[in-house]
Structure 1
Amino acid sequence: MAAATTLATLFIASTATTGYAATEEVTHPVPVAGTPGHYIVVMKSDPLATYEGDVKGLKATKPAEGEQLETQSQDSQRYVEHLQTEQTDLVSDIGVTPDTTYQVVLNGFSADLSGEQVDALRASKDVIGVYPDEIRHPDAQTSTDYLGLGDDRKGRGGVWQQTGGVEKAGEGVVVGVIDTGIAPEHPSFEGKKIKKQKKQHNRNKGAQPYTDGTYVYFDKSDGGQFQAAMVEGQDWDKSDYSSKLIGGQYFYAGAEAAGFDFQYDYLSPRDGDGHGSHTASTAAGNFKVKASIENVDFGTISGVAPAAKISAYKACYVGPDTTVTTDDICAQSDLIAAIDQAVADGVDVINYSIGGGAASTVMAPEDLAFFNAAAASSPVSRSTRSSPVPSRSRSTRVRT
C-alpha cells in the first residue's frame, strides 16, 4: 500500500508538466438570459462523493479521511437512486430531455435547452447554476526522466527499486486516463486475456482482474474493488480488454450536440489520434517497450508506474487535420461524464491532460467535479501550460 501511494504521488508530479494546450482562449461570459444551446445544469443536493447524510433515511456516503468512495455499496446505490429521482422530477417539470446525467462527482445533467428552459432552470430552487457547455482540446506532456525513477534499461535504483522494482511499481493501482482513447494493441498496454468467472464477494488483494462477461473486476491494493462495464463500439470489442487495460469507455453526447463530425475518429474507446495512448503509456505503460517511428529506433520507453492497471475514458475526438488541435473537440459535458464514471468505477488516480485557455472562475462544473473527485479520494493529475493568467489546464494536486 505504501508503495502504491508513493507511485501515485510520483505520478501526479510527473504529469504536471508544461504542454501546448489550446491555441484559442475560452472565455466565460455571463450567459445572456434565454439563450438556447447545450448546457450543464448543476443541482443543489450533494453528489455521492460529498453527501454527509442530511436526507432522512439515507446514510452518508462521503468517505472518511484516507478512505475511498464505495460506489457499489447499498447506501451509495440508494443515494444515487435518490438523486436520479430528483433529476427526473426537475426535468419533467421543465420539459427537458437530458443526454447525460451525473451523480458521483457532480449532481446534475447536460441537455439542449431552449431559452425558456434556461430561464426556468436558473430560477429553480433546486439548481445551483446553468452553465453553457464549453470546448477543450488535448494537452501535451513531457518526459519524466528528471524524476529519478531508476535505470531505464534494468529498472534498478531510484523510486522503482524503493517500491519493489518495476514488477511492483504501481501494483494494485488503477490509473484512469481521460483523453482521446487508447490503442489496445500497443505493446505498452500488452497484457493477458482476462479470465471469466463469477464476481467474488470476498476480495482478494493482488489478484488478477477477471470478468463475468459484462464487467471487469479488479481487487486493488487499498482493499477496494474496481468495477467497469465492458463496452463495445467501432473497431472495439470485449477482446480489447486485458490484464493491463482493464477499462475502456467513451462519451460523446456533448460533442454530438455541438455538431462535431465523427468521421475522422472512432465512436468507441479506440484512440484515433495517439494522444490518449501517449498519456496512458507515460503514466502506466509497461516497462522497457521498444519504440520506433518510421523504422527509426528510439530505444525503449517505460511508464511511471509500469505495474499499474489502466482504464481509458475517451471524451476527446479528432478532426481532419492531425497537425493541429483546433479542429479537435473535448466537450466539457463529456469530460465531466468521464470524470464521473472514472470515480464511479473506482480508479485510484485520474490523469487529465486537457487544455482550454484562460479561466475566469474556479466554480465551473469541471472545477466542482474535480473538487468532489478529491473528496472521493481520487487524486487528479492535470497538465499545465505557460500563461500569464490562470489556465483551465493548470496542475491540480488535490490529494496524495
Structure 2
Amino acid sequence: MKTDFLIVGGGIAGLTTAIALKKIGIHAILAEASPEIRAVGAGLALAANAMQALRQIGISEAVIPLGRELKAFTIYDQKGKPISKTNTDPANSRFGISNFTIHRAALHSALLARLDAGQVLTGKRSKDIAEEGDAYRVDFEDGSSITAENVIVAEGIHSPIRKKLLPTSKIRYAGYTCWRGITDNPSLQIEETSETWGAKGRFGVTPLANGQVYWYACINSPHANSTLKDWGKKELMEVFKDFHTPIPQVLSATRPERIIWNDILDLEPIDRFAFGRIVLVGDAAHATTPNMGQGACMAIEDAAVLASCLSKNTDVAEAFSAFEKRRLKRTHNIVKTSWTLGKVAQWENSLLRAIRDKAFRMIPAKQRQKQIEALYAVDLG
C-alpha cells in the first residue's frame, strides 16, 4: 500500500492531526495498533489552549456539547483547607473560549466521526521504518507494510519508531502510581474540580457531563510494584479514608470494575521532533506527567500547529522543521514544569508539606492568574 501521508497512531494526537490535515486538503491514512480505536482512560481536561486549537481546525463546536465547562481549580490539604484556587474563567474573555472537562471516550468518538470511511486502518502496530527510494516504508507486526512519502508518528510514549530514530530517548518513571475511575454524580452533587494533597498521596475530583465524576488517586511507590496490581476499591478506601469529604464518598460510589491503574511516566525532553519527512507529535514527541492537565492539550496543539506549518510550506521537510522550532520550547517547558509540580505535590514529609502549603497559600491570585493565562496563550500561527 502507498500513500502521500501516513499517520502512525490513532489516539488523540493521531485523530486530531488527521482532521487538521483534512481541513487544509491533505488526505492522510491513519494506522492504529489496536484492533479497534477506543479510549483508554477516564476523563481529561481540554484547557483553553486546546480549545483554541480545536476551534482553529474546525471541531470545537462538535466537542463543546460533550464536555462540561471548567471555571476554577482548587487545591486542598487533607483536611479540606484550601491551598490555592485558580480561576480559569477569564480565559473566555481573553481567548474567546472556555476550559472544559470531557470523558476520553466521548472525545475519541467525536474525533473519529470527522474522518472518512476507509481512512483509518486498525490492527497496525508499527515494528520498523526504513527509507525506500524517496519514501519511507513502515512495517507492522501483522506482516504488512505501508509506503509513504511523509510519515507523522503519533503512536505514544512507547513509540518503536521514535526509539529507532532516537535510540537514547528515555522514558522516566515519576515515582508515583495512579488509579483512575468514573462514577455517577447525581447522589454526590459535586460541582468543583479539585485536587487534594495529603500525607499518603493525592486525590483529584472532576465533574464531567452527563452526571458523571472522574477521579484519580496517586501514591508514591517503586516502579512496576507487583503488590499493587491487585489493589482496588477496598485498598484505596483504606489509604484515603481520612481525606476530607467527598473523597471517601467518591470511592465508595465507584464500581470496582470501573477502576484502572498505571504507573505515571513521561518522556525525558528530546531535542528533535523532525527527521526529514518524518515528524513526531503528541506523546511520541513530548509525553508529560498529568500534573498540569496538558497531555491531550499539547497533542491537540500539535495538530493545529503542524497543519499551519504545512499550509505555509510546500516543502514538507521544511514544514516539519518549522513545526519542531515552534514546538520544542513550549513542550519542554510543560514537561519540566509538570514533572517538578508532581514531585512537590507527592511530598510525604510533614515539615516539607507544611512549608509547601504555606508557600502556595502566599502566592498572590494575580500571579496565579498570570501563570495560567501564559499557559493558554499558545502560538497556533
Do both proteins adopt the same fold according to a TM-score greater than 0.5, normalized to the shorter chain?
A: no
State the structure with bigger RCO (CA 8 A, min sep 6), 1 or 2: 1
Give the TM-score, by structure 2 length. Answer: 0.30
Structure number with higher helix proportion: 2
Structure number with higher strand proportion: 2
